[in-house]
Amino acid sequence: MSKTDLTRRGVLRTGAVAGAGLALPTIFTSGAHAFTNEPMGGTVTLGFNVPQSGAYADEGADELRAYQLAVEHLNGEGDGGMLNTFSSKTLEGNGILGKKVEFVTGDTQTKSDAARASAKSMIEKDGAVMITGGSSSGVAVAVQGLCQEAGVIFMSGLTHSNDTTGKDKKANGFRHFFNAYMSGAALAPVLAARYGADRKAYHLTADYTWGWTQEESIAAATEALGWETVNKVRTPLGAGDFSSYITPVLQTDADVLILNHYGGDMVNSLTNAVQFGLREKMVNGKQFEIVVPLFSRLMARGAGENIKGILGSTNWHWSLTDEGSKAFVKSFGTKYGFPPSQAAHTCYVQTLLYADAVARAGSFNPCAVVEALEGFEFDGLGNGKTLYRAEDHQCFKDVLVVRGKENPTSEFDLLEIVEITPAAQVTYPADHPMFAGGALGDCNAG
């Protein structure tokens, strides 16, 4: 397939080819620039790196919609969205530091090598001063590492592994999305209250960094409240049919199945579990239950009837009634005709947070941006009061426990909020064992 064909299909606008040229040049900048890709003219280029194919493509499509909306708002187009509710009033709708915002895109394919290749191309060939996006923690960790080496800021998209701001954290990387520990801390008390403390759980887990830390987090949180973990089984990303993994569950005394899966994998594994009759089973004198620690409206749509009554956690939901959420839902819905997902929300917010940090710092220099974001407290972006903690570049905010609606009123009204867990309940010390083993290091400006 030619480069022209790739561009026409929207797979890559940067010309990057998966797996090509991953070796980084020694120097990303020329002597004429003070830092990597310093914007010299009237525009500034951002790189949006999302899964346009693969198991998480639905999330990627919504991320890209949100990025495009954020660019419009930054450039003074549309109704301004969350610029009107953001507690920081630095952004004026005239681009970033007066420079019009432009963007390039890449397809991560939900593969680390492909994601690095597309990000590398956007930095080297397109002059992107910031990279953002992704719906896989494996991708996020890989691209975050590349951006640290390249001397650009990485504002991660949908990444939920503890490792992103744990052992693999980097000074040039920042995460707005919540993490696996937070899901466990928010969800476990609700599970114990609804299903009882005497439960036996069987885990099916996506075999990569996110699945590993999600399994660890939800197992630790539920075991602390009395649950027993019967088994933990790893499954390949993009398996398609999970029947061979569901069958062994029936041979145990487990009365809860925890699906540490996301995107299309969650839809398929949940469908297989329901087909095998797990939701109708009685085990140990109890109704068998299925739990999905992390899911979104897009996954709920894919799962259809099977999602009804299933408990999980989410970073944000379009039904929230705070002013920021309402403004974003209105802007997104007006442009696209349907409400945004949590992936869209976090990507839109990350773009605004980066632009605001540049504006407050008065510079695109990555080290100035890092200084502006570290310890930054803000409100008005849909999650209540939020802190970008300096020690690990993780945002701390309220977390939502949700459940699949029994009687949805539309194809978008699929989840109901069971509990808004306050930030204090999901906050942990920066040296928590689940996040140990890494150091931010120093910022790199190229």
The answer, yes or no, to whether residue 5 has pLDDT greater than 80, is no
Residue 96: helix, strand or coil by DSSP? strand
pLDDT(32) > 80: no
Q: Could you tell me the two tokens for 25?
A: 């040049």
In this predicted model, what pLDDT tens digit does every residue of 128-168 receive, in sequence order? 999 999 888 889 999 999 999 999 999 999 999 999 999 99
Average pLDDT over residues 266-284: 95
Query: Could you report how far apart the first and last alpha carbons of the chain are, in Å?
Result: 34
Share above pLDDT 70 across residues of the chain, in percent, rounded to a whole number: 93
Half-sphere exposure (Cβ direction) of 422: Cα atoms closer than 13 Å? 2
Token code pair at residue 349: 């917010």
Tell me the pLDDT of the chain averaged across its residues.
91
Q: How many Cα neighbours within 13 Å face the side chain of 51? A: 28
Q: Identify the architecture of domain 181-314+414-426 in CATH.
A: 3-Layer(aba) Sandwich (3.40)
- Statement: residue 22 has pLDDT above 80: no
User: Fold match between 6-19+27-178+320-397 and 181-314+414-426?
Assistant: yes
What are the residue boundaries of the structural domains of the chain, listed by start? 6-19+27-178+320-397, 181-314+414-426
Confidence (pLDDT) at 15: 36
The mean pLDDT of 207-211, rounded to a whole number, is: 92
The superfamily CATH assigns to domain 6-19+27-178+320-397 is Response regulator (3.40.50.2300)
Model confidence over 101-125: pLDDT tens digits?
A: 999 999 999 899 999 999 999 999 9
Q: Residue 147's pLDDT is what?
A: 98
Return the structure tokens found at 247: 């069958």
Q: Which two tokens stand for residue 282?
A: 């009685």
**What pLDDT band is residue 334 in, cutting at 50, 70 and 90?**
very high
CA 226 to chain centre: 30
The pLDDT, as a whole number, for residue 27 is 38
Give Cα 65 distance to the centre of its chain: 15
> Could you give the strand order of the β-sheet that contains 173-174, starting from the edge strand earlier in sequence?
100-107, 43-50, 130-133, 153-156, 173-174
Tell whether the model's pLDDT for residue 18 goes beyond 80: no
